[in-house]
């Protein structure tokens, strides 16, 4: 790098950009970044998923809590006093709130035997915490209103489905950029759309076959996964256009370290620490898990919010990549005749 006499010295960032890296320096830098990413991955997952602790659990109660204060205290003790009760006039009303996932559990104090309603499909880890009441107070009956499928007793299938779709989305893009040569923009557009549709279709069929649950929700799950794949692949392409060969770093940080840890697939959102519990509702990974869970287990009580969030991420990242890549392709096409004329 040359410096014009009298001009201010180049900044540290400018000197770093102008530095001629040797192969061993590049290898060392890549190894250092990989180790740092691995440490961050371990730290994030350990903090978010290693020791799930109930912080705030929206709950319902039917009846007078003061009349059975010992039962309410026992349930609160199991949940580490994180239950925030709201009163419902009847058991059907409380169960309807569980169906809509406005609450995660409901305690019925009006029957001869107190009953705690849970929904393991809304969060298996949370349901397991609440089900411990049977050991503390055997008089309390536990009823699971939305049980998980027998082939997925821990409720991790949807998390794995989202995780695989994420990896396929950005890993395929990076391999195509590295191995397939330079594609025309129109070919790249069709490839990304075809990848989202084909990969999500294959994953949906495999998942349905493994769970032995080829139901009406299959087409809906396909559409949700297609949006997630489009978001992951478009984000990877956008990063590749903006920062080039280091695009894997922000993509890995956003989808794997931050997105998967806050998705609510491995640990229920009420058991996640902040900011992961908040991000679960607004990042594509969390929106995908929630939307698929609604489609499979709460088919008649689905929310539009996660689908809208996922669609916005997919469309915004795809459009941003298309606009920036298209602009660069036009500038490259315009510069080609000038370069050819200069050579002659």
Together in a domain, 101 and 164 = no
Judge whether residue 93 has pLDDT over 80: yes
Helix (H) / strand (E) containing 39: helix 23-45
Total tally of structural domains belonging to the chain = 2
Which of the listed residues 85, 120, 144 is the one where a domain comes to its end?
144
State the pLDDT at residue 274.
83
Q: Measured between alpha carbons, how far is 270 from 54 in angstroms, rounded to an integer?
A: 6
Together in a domain, 187 and 324 = yes
Helix axes 157-179, 218-243, angle to 10 degrees: 40
Q: Is the residue at 335 inside a domain?
A: no
State the pLDDT at residue 17.
58
- Nearest in space to 44 (alpha carbons), one of 248, 266, 229, 232: 266
Which of the listed residues 117, 144, 171 is the one where a domain comes to its end?
144
Together in a domain, 174 and 322 = yes
Rounded to an integer, the average pLDDT of 49-58 is: 76
Rounded percentage of the chain residues whose pLDDT exceeds 90: 47
Together in a domain, 167 and 286 = yes
Q: Is the residue at 33 inside a domain?
A: no
The residue whose two tokens read 């397991």 is 128
Q: Is the residue at 173 inside a domain?
A: yes
Which carries the bigger pLDDT value, residue 11 or residue 55?
Answer: 55
Judge whether residue 12 has pLDDT over 70: no
Together in a domain, 139 and 250 = no
**297 and 120 in contact (C-beta within 8 Å)?**
no
Together in a domain, 299 and 191 = yes
Mean pLDDT of the chain: 85
Together in a domain, 193 and 270 = yes
Together in a domain, 175 and 323 = yes
Together in a domain, 199 and 309 = yes
Rounded to an integer, the average pLDDT of 15-30 is: 70
Q: Measured between alpha carbons, how far is 200 from 22 in angstroms, rounded to an integer?
A: 41
Q: Is the residue at 19 inside a domain?
A: no
pLDDT in tens, 193-243: 999 999 999 999 888 777 665 555 788 999 999 999 999 999 999 999 999
Q: What is the pTM of this model?
A: 0.83
Q: Is the residue at 211 inside a domain?
A: yes
Which carries the bigger pLDDT value, residue 10 or residue 263?
Answer: 263
Together in a domain, 136 and 207 = no
**185 and 325 in contact (C-beta within 8 Å)?**
yes
Q: Is the residue at 51 inside a domain?
A: no
Look up the CATH number of the domain holding residue 89.
3.40.50
Q: Is the residue at 152 inside a domain?
A: no
Which carries the bigger pLDDT value, residue 256 or residue 17?
Answer: 256
Which of the listed residues 122, 144, 166 is the one where a domain comes to its end?
144
pLDDT in tens, 235-270: 999 999 999 888 999 999 999 888 888 888 878 888
CA pseudo-torsion sign 10, 11, 14, 15: positive
User: Domain range spanning residue 132?
Assistant: 57-144
Together in a domain, 210 and 273 = yes
pLDDT in tens, 144-175: 999 988 787 787 888 889 999 999 999 999 99
Q: Is the residue at 45 inside a domain?
A: no
Together in a domain, 209 and 266 = yes
């Amino acid at each position: 790098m040359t410096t014009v006499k009298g001009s201010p010295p180049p900044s540290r960032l400018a000197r770093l950009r102008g530095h001629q890296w040797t192969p061993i320096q590049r290898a060392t830098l890549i190894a250092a970044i990989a180790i740092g990413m691995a440490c961050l991955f371990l730290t994030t997952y350990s903090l978010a998923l290693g020791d799930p602790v109930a912080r705030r659990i929206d709950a319902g109660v039917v009846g007078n809590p003061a009349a059975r204060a010992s039962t309410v205290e026992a349930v609160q003790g199991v949940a580490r006093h994180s239950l925030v009760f709201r009163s419902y006039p009847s058991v059907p009303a409380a169960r309807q709130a569980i169906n809509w996932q406005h609450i995660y559990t409901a305690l019925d104090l009006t029957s001869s035997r107190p009953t705690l309603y849970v929904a393991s499909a809304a969060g298996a880890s949370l349901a397991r915490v609440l089900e411990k009441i049977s050991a503390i107070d055997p008089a309390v009956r536990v009823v699971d209103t939305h049980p998980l499928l027998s082939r997925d007793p821990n409720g991790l299938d949807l998390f794995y489905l989202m995780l695989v779709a994420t990896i396929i989305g950005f890993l395929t893009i990076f391999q195509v950029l590295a191995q397939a040569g330079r594609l025309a923009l129109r070919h790249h557009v069709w490839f990304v759309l075809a990848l989202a549709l084909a990969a999500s279709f294959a994953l949906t069929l495999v998942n349905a076959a493994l769970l032995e649950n080829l139901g009406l929700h299959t087409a809906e799950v396909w559409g949700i996964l297609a949006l997630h794949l489009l978001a992951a692949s478009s984000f990877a392409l956008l990063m590749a256009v903006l920062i080039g060969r280091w695009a894997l770093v922000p993509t890995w940080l956003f989808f794997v370290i931050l997105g998967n840890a806050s998705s609510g697939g491995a640990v229920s959102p009420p058991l996640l620490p902040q900011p992961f519990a908040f991000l679960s509702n607004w990042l594509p990974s969390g929106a995908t898990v929630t939307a698929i869970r609604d489609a499979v287990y709460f088919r008649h009580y689905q929310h539009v919010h996660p689908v809208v969030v996922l669609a916005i991420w997919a469309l915004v990242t795809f459009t941003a990549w298309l606009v920036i890549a298209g602009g660069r392709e036009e500038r490259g096409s315009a510069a080609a005749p000038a370069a050819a004329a200069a050579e002659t």
